[in-house]
Amino acid sequence: MAKTREIKKRIKAVKNIQRITRTMQMIATSKFARSQARAEATKPYTEGIFELVQELAATAGNVSHPLIEGPQGGFRDDARHLTLVITSDRGLCGPYNGSVLRTAYKHLRGLGGASRVEVVGKKGVAFMRFNGVDVYRHHTQFGDRPEFEPVKELAQHYIELFEAGRITGVSLVYMRYQSVARQSPTIVPLLPLKPPAVEEQAGGFSAQYEFSPDAQGLLAELLPETVKTTLFQAFNDAVVSENIARMVAMKAATDNAGKMGKALKRKFNRARQAQITTELNEIVSGAAALG
């Protein structure tokens, strides 16, 4: 009897867990739909900025800017590369954080430790501290739905540090959203900006433009905007990827709980049948002894 009671308690516990994981799966699905719409809405603007800068650089000839070539006075002696790692505040999202953090740790080892590490998300901070990596700054202002203004302020801060020669560059490590079925941990160099490649037109002809204001003035506006939109797109991609990972992980947990519940129910039925058989044998043996 004690064995069947124990199995019944386990069945009840598994059902409660299954109910919780199913609820979390539904919440993650709802958040995924909203975050996907945001990420896909900002992507055309980000790509359009890149195309505009590329076309401008291709038609304006040799142009220079500190965000491409670095500060005019050079970098300070104590300047280091800055790495921003974007992770989540909560777990239960499968391999999401592990994939990003392994990529970031490999990147930091490649830099030989000469990097200033900044982290978004509690999971990233815990990982870095466990592995003995000093976290220069932990960003907590973004949350589950990053807005453009806080991201813009962070990008502007990086631009000012780079132009002042206090950092030699900025790299982003995050989970890039490519499709519902594919997300990949990615390292993106944010600063310095790589000058766009100039493509030759077929037949040797190229379009001629008159710039107003001049190309240098346009780049002064477009290049900082490129940095800000790239960083914002990275945050949006990271949120979408996190919600997909949590949705998949909670669905797997719900399915596993259902399978475990069925296995426990079969085990309970066998235990109950054995108990009934034992009781019947005792009754028959008692009746035979009395007869």
DSSP secondary structure string, 198-260?
A: PPPPGGG-------SS-HHHHHHHHHHHHHHHHHHHHHHHHHHHHHHHHHHHHHHHHHHHHHH
Residue 164 pLDDT more than 60?
yes
Return the bridge partners of 172, or none: 84, 188
pTM for the model? 0.84
Given a contact cutoff of 8 angstroms between Cβ atoms, the answer to whether 155 and 250 are in contact is: no
Same domain, 162 and 76: yes
| Residue 123 pLDDT greater than 80, yes or no | yes
Whether residue 127 is predicted with pLDDT greater than 70 in this model: the reply is yes
Q: Cα separation of 42 and 122, whole Å?
A: 26
Q: Which residue type sits at 121?
A: G
Peptide bond into 192 cis (omega under 30): yes
Confidence class of residue 60 from pLDDT cuts 50, 70 and 90?
A: low
Same domain, 30 and 58: yes
Residue 48: its pLDDT value, please?
85
Classify 198 as helix, strand or coil. Answer: coil
Residue 66 lies in a domain: yes
For residue 213, whether the previous peptide bond is cis, meaning omega lies within 30 degrees of 0, is: yes
**Assigned domain for 143 exists:** yes
| Cβ atoms of 98 and 105 closer than 8 Å | no
pLDDT band at 211 (very low <50, low <70, confident <90, very high): low
| pLDDT confidence of residue 200 | 46
Higher pLDDT: 217 or 95? It is 95
Task: Give how many domains the chain has, as a whole number.
Answer: 2
- Residues 76 and 149 placed together within one structural domain of the fold: yes
**Mean pLDDT of the chain, nearest integer:** 87
Asked if residue 262 and residue 191 are part of one domain, the reply reads no
Residue 141 shares a structural domain with residue 65: yes
132 and 193 in a single domain? The answer is yes
**How many helices and strands in the chain, by DSSP H and E?**
6, 5
What's the CATH number where 255 sits? 1.10.287.80
Same domain, 85 and 222: yes
The pair of three-digit structure tokens given for residue 191, joined into one six-digit string: 């600063």
What are the CA-CA distances from residue 243 to residues 33, 88, 150, 227, 273 (Å)? 9, 10, 21, 25, 45
Sheet holding 80-86, edge to edge: 135-139, 115-120, 80-86, 167-179, 182-191
Domain that holds residue 272: 2-20+250-284
Residues 136 and 260 in one domain: no
Residue 214 has pLDDT above 80, yes or no: no
* Highest mean pLDDT, choosing among 17-21, 69-73, 143-147: 17-21
Asked whether residue 201 carries a pLDDT value surpassing 50, the answer given is no
Is the confidence at residue 202, as pLDDT, over 70?
Answer: no
Please check the confidence at residue 151 and state whether its pLDDT lies above 60: yes
DSSP secondary structure string, 105-117? Answer: HHHHHHTTT-EEE
Domain assignment of residue 289, yes or no? no
* 277 pLDDT above the threshold of 90: no
180/237 same-domain check? yes
| pLDDT, position 62 | 63
Q: 174: buried, middle or exposed (CB in 10 Å: 19+, 13-18, 0-12)?
A: buried
Q: What is the mean pLDDT of residues 222-245?
A: 93
Mean pLDDT for the stretch of residues 145-162: 94
